[in-house]
Amino acid sequence: MDFKELVKFFEEMGEKKFRATQVYAWMMHGAQSFDRMTDLPAGLRARLEEMQDAGLISLNLAMISNVQISKSDGTRKYLLMLNDGNFVECVFMKYKYGNSVCISSQVGCRMGCAFCASTIGGKLRNLSAGEMLEEVLVIARDTGEPVSHIVVMGTGEPFDNYENLARFLRTVHDEKGLNIGMRNITVSTCGVVPGIEAFTVDFPSAGLAVSLHAPSNEIRDRLLPINKRYPLEVLLPACRTYTEHTGRRITFEYALIDGVNDSFSHAKALARLLHSHVGKLCHVNLIPLNKVSESAFSGSGRRHATAFCEILEKHGIPATVRRELGADIDAACGQLRMKTMEQKK
């Protein structure tokens, strides 16, 4: 529930409005039981516990099934089990600017990107706004550290679940919620153009990342089936509209795949493409592809990625090679969940 809905909930119970303020604060601090809400009357806590036991309300939407901790940098990858028995992944990462959490937006994914573990098995269902919030709260509770940045870049296509995504973003941004600034939130899409257009209007202060991965429709059709519906000549103008409307730089994710999209001629073609269709307010995030055993693709080496990056920068396109956090754990989105599902078969 958002705060307004919680107010209505307590009013219908015959309680005062300020009870919603108290409970909402406890919820946003990750309280797992109403008994812990010590500023509530014992009678009210008992009523809420009874409602939870009856399945009418719930404070707990997920529990930790597994966590992998990188010995090299402290990155934590979580496998959470939802109340219906499904699993999702989320990641805790430490940076100089603060702690970042990468969350999933769906159980599985139907986008079918050729190199991605998340899409194997397809999409099972959307996550609710509450389940997305729970990913953040579980991590904050487990680590005991504050979360200052959120990226919606895990399993699933966020714009294929836009209504719940928008509800989640408004909740974490709300000063009564987690009070995280929109500029500290980034949403990644594989190129769902209607979602980009809606996001541009609804969340102009939030960051947008687009999984590009190719400098041409021919290559992108092979890697990302969504490109057949929204090819580059449709996608890139929507990206330019985002930069013009928001004044914010857009990030293009580009996974370097050996022999597919990683030649130096591809780098030059990518630079020309972005110059002509997007302009200067962009940044390319080059990703050394994590190996997925079910995929025939292999990633380019980091040295090659650095050379690719230098070509882009030489041609006026800002670019970086993504820092490899959690390299010693199941780094690719979907890998930990997929292993668990295989073990259960």
Tell me which residue of 74, 92, 73, 182 sits closest to 140, measured CA to CA: 92
Backbone angles phi, psi at 261, to 5 degrees: -140, 20
Element (H or E) spanning 229, and its range? none
64: left (phi over 0), alpha (psi -120 to 50) or beta: beta
Q: What torsion, rounded to 10 degrees, do the Cα atoms 237, 242, 247, 251 define?
A: -90
Alpha helices in 75-128 (DSSP H): none
Rounded CA-CA distance 339/343 in Å is 6
CB proximity list for 232: less than 8 A, separation 6 or greater? 216, 217, 220, 273, 277
Q: Which of 89, 131, 134, 135 is catalytic?
A: 89
Tokens representing 108? Answer: 């599985």
CB proximity list for 12: less than 8 A, separation 6 or greater? none
Residue with the two structure tokens 């707990």:
60
Tokens representing 138? Answer: 């579980």
89 catalytically annotated: yes
Q: Which of 113, 116, 190, 333 is catalytic?
A: 333
333 catalytically annotated: yes
Tell me which residue of 120, 92, 123, 91 sits closest to 106, measured CA to CA: 123
Catalytic residue annotation = 89, 333
